[in-house]
A and B are shown apart, each in its own frame.
Chain A
Amino acid sequence: MPIASQISMVPVVVDDDKCIAEKGCRTCIDVCPLDVLWINEDTGKAHMKYDECWYCMPCETDCPTDAVTVNIPYLLR
C-alpha cells in the first residue's frame, strides 16, 4: 500500500535564535498535552513535529525564553 507524504502548515512556531534546547531545555516538549513538540534532529531546536494541536498554550507560556508562538490552526482561522 503506497504512502504519500503531505505538507501541513503547523500552528506552533519556535524561534530558533531564542530556543535554548542545546542547553538541555525541554520545557515546551514536556508540557504539551498532545506530545507534538519534539527536538528537530537537524537544528537541535524544538519544533512542531505533528500537526495535532489544541492551541492550548502551555508551550508558549512556560518557555523560559519566549521562543514559542502558538497560532490558531489554519483550518480554524
Chain B
Amino acid sequence: MNLPDDISVKDVDVLIIGGGTAGPMAAVAAKEKNPDASVMLLEKANVKRSGAISMGMDGLNNAVVPGHSTPEDYVKEITIANDGVLLQKGVMTYAENSYEMIQKLDNWGVYFQKDETGEYDMKKVHHLGTYVLPMPEGHNIKKILYRRLRRHRVIVENRYQAIRIMKDSEGNACGCISINTRTAEIYVIRAKSVVMCTGAAGRIGLPASGYLYGTYENPSNCGDGHSMAYQVGAELTGLECYQINPLLKDYNGPACAYVTGPLGGYTANSKGDRFIECDYWSGQMMMEFFNELQGGNGPVFLKLDHLAEETIQEIEHVLHTNERPSRGRFHDGRGVDYRTKMVEMHISEIGFCAGHSASGVWTNEKGETTVPGLYGAGDMASIPHSYMLGAFVFGEICGANAAEFAAERDFAELDVDFITAERDRILAPMKRTDGIPPSQFEYKVRRLVNDYLQPPKVTKKMDIGLQRLQAMEEDIQYLYARDAHELLRANEAQHIYDCAKMAAVASMYRTESRWGLYHHYVDYPETNNEDWFCHVQLFKDDSGDMVCKTRPIDPYVVELDDNEKNAYAQMRVQQAG
C-alpha cells in the first residue's frame, strides 16, 4: 500500500530530532562513526540559531577538569544534589567524557576562559567541588556547530516539527511523522534509528508575567519530545522532580549566580543578607529560596551593589552580551543599575529538564530509551544536571550508538494506516472554520498547572488539577488554526497538555517529599527512603492509560560516606536562619 500524494517520504539511516545543542553533536558523531550513513537533522526552528544556546552561553556549569576534580567527585556531588535518586552510571559516563569534550570543542574553536598560564580558569559554584568554566566570548558556538554539520554533509531540514515517532512491527523506532511549520505539509522520515534532542519541556507552567513566551527555556522547547516518547510507549522518569529555577523577576532569565558568584555577587534577602550557603541550583537551594520569598524577609535579590566598578563592568559585559543579551535592556527599562540597587529575583514556572534537574525521558548510560532504536540526549533525557556539556557528551554517545544500531537494520515497512490517521489528526485544526484558538487552550492548561500542580504540592489540589485537565481532553477536537503557524501552536499545545497531565500523575504517585522544593509534597512532608528510594517511571499502559511504576536504583559505582549524604540538606546559612 502506498502513501497518499500529499505526504512526502524520505529515507535516512539515522534521524536526529532537534538541532539545538545535543542534536548537532549527535549528527556529527553519527557521521564520524559511519561516514557512509545518511544522517538527517530535523529542526523545528533553524539550526543556525535554535535551542538554549542560540546566542551563546555564559559558561560550562559542570566541567570535570583534571587537577580540579575527578569523575568520582562529580558523581558524588550530583548524587547528593539529587538525594541519591539517579543512574550513577550515566552521570559517571558523562563525567569521564567531560574533559575530552571540552578539548574537542576547544579544538573546534569554542572559546573557554583561560588563566595566565593557559590553563582553564575554573571557578567554584557548587557546594563541594569546582566545576564552572566561564566562556564569556561563547557567542560563536552555534556557528561552529553549523560548520561541522556542513563539513560532515549532514542533511539539515529546518522548520519541521516532529510530532510522532513511528514504530515497526517488532517495536523498534523507525522514523517520525513531522509537519512543515510554514506550509503544513506532512513529511514522513523513515529511519533505522532515531535520536531525540528536543530540549526541555519549558512551556508547562505559566511565567509570573503571564506572557506565554516569557519562559526560562527557549519556548520552542515545549515538551514535544516528552509527549512523543510517551505516545510511542517509552518510559519517562523523575517527572515529579520538576525543574524550578531562581531567576530575575519578570525577565525570567538566569540571575546569574554562576557568573556573578565567583566575582563576589550573591543571592540575598530584602535585608541584603546571604541566606543560602551555595548558589548552585538544587531543589534544596530552591526550598530555601522559596521559604525566603514567602517569609517576612522576601523578596529575594541578586546583590552586586557592593562590588568594585571594574567587577560590575565585567559582569555587565558577560550578562548583557552573551546567552540572554536583552537583559541590559530589561534593566534599563526599569532604571536598575547593579551599582546602586539589588536586583529582584523570583522563581520560575515549573518544567521538565534533565539539564538542570532530573526529569525527562528515561535513558541509560548509552543514551538508550526503553524503546529499541530510540535514543535521547540533553535536556529531554534523564541524565541529571547535565547542562550544556552533558548535552554535547550524550549527543555524541547517542549519535554513535544510533549509527551502530542503524548499520544492523533494514528500513521498516511503512504503516500507512497509522500515518494517514495521524495526518488527519494533525491537520484537523486547519480543516475547521472556527473553534478554540491554540493560545487560549495553551494558556488554560498552563494556568491550571500553576494553580494546582506547582509546589507546595497538595493531593486535593493536584486531584482537582488533573480532573480539570482531563476535562479539557474534550476541547482538543475544537482546536482551530487559521494557518500553518497556528497549526504549529495547536500541535505544541497538545504536547504541553500531555506534559501537564504527566506532572500531576507522577507527582501524586510519589507519596513522600524529596529534592527540596522540586517535590515538596505537603501531605507527605518527610523523605521516606524505605519506600521511595527508587525511580518513578511514567508510561502509557496497554489500555492507553497514563500510569507509573517504580524502578529500583542501579547499584552505585561511587559509594558515599554517611556524612556526605546530607551535604546539600544544610543549605541555609545558620546566622540568617
Contacts and interface: CB of A to CB of B under 8 A. Distances in A.
Q: Is the pairing of A and B real?
A: yes
B324 A76 contact: no
B46 A72 contact: no
A53 B252 CA distance: 13
A60 to B, nearest CB: 9
Interface in B83-117: none
Contacts of B219: 33-34, 52, 54
Given A35-B181, A77-B334, A54 B329 contact: no
A33 B51 contact: yes
Given A58-B54, A72-B329, A76-B252, A35 B45 contact: yes
A50 B374 CA distance: 34
A71 B329 contact: yes
B325 interface: yes
B333 to A, nearest CB: 5
Contact of B55 (A2, A34, A58, A73): A58
Contacts of A52: 212-213, 219, 489
A76 B209 contact: yes
A14 B512 CA distance: 52
Which size bracket describes the interface of B in this complex?
Answer: 35 or more
B330 A76 contact: yes
B570 interface: no
Contact of B48 (A1, A31, A54): A31
A5 to B, nearest CB: 11
Interface of B: 45-46, 48-51, 54-55, 158-159, 181-182, 209-215, 218-220, 250-252, 324-326, 329-330, 333-334, 434-437, 478, 480, 485, 488-489
Contacts of A31: 46, 48-49
A25 interface: no
B330 A72 contact: yes
A3 to B, nearest CB: 6
A19 to B, nearest CB: 19
Contacts of A55: 214, 326, 330
Nearest to B48: A31
Nearest to A33: B45
Contacts of A57: 55, 325-326
Nearest to A69: B329
Given A3-B434, A52-B212, A71-B329, A35 B54 contact: no
Contacts of A73: 209, 211, 213-214
Contacts of B325: 57, 61
Nearest to B332: A72
Contacts of A50: 485
A32 interface: yes
A35 B214 contact: no
Nearest to A74: B211
Interface in A12-46: 30-35
Given A1-B478, A34-B219, 16 more contacts: A3-B437, A30-B158, A32-B46, A33-B45, A33-B49, A33-B50, A34-B45, A49-B485, A50-B485, A52-B489, A57-B325, A58-B49, A72-B329, A73-B214, A75-B209, A75-B210
B46 A54 contact: no
Contacts of B326: 55-57, 70, 72
19 contacts: A1-B436, A33-B51, A33-B218, A34-B213, A35-B45, A52-B213, A53-B213, A54-B218, A56-B54, A56-B326, A57-B326, A58-B54, A58-B55, A70-B329, A75-B209, A75-B210, A76-B209, A76-B211, A77-B330
Contacts of B485: 35, 49-50
A34 to B, nearest CB: 6
A56 to B, nearest CB: 6
A71 B212 CA distance: 16
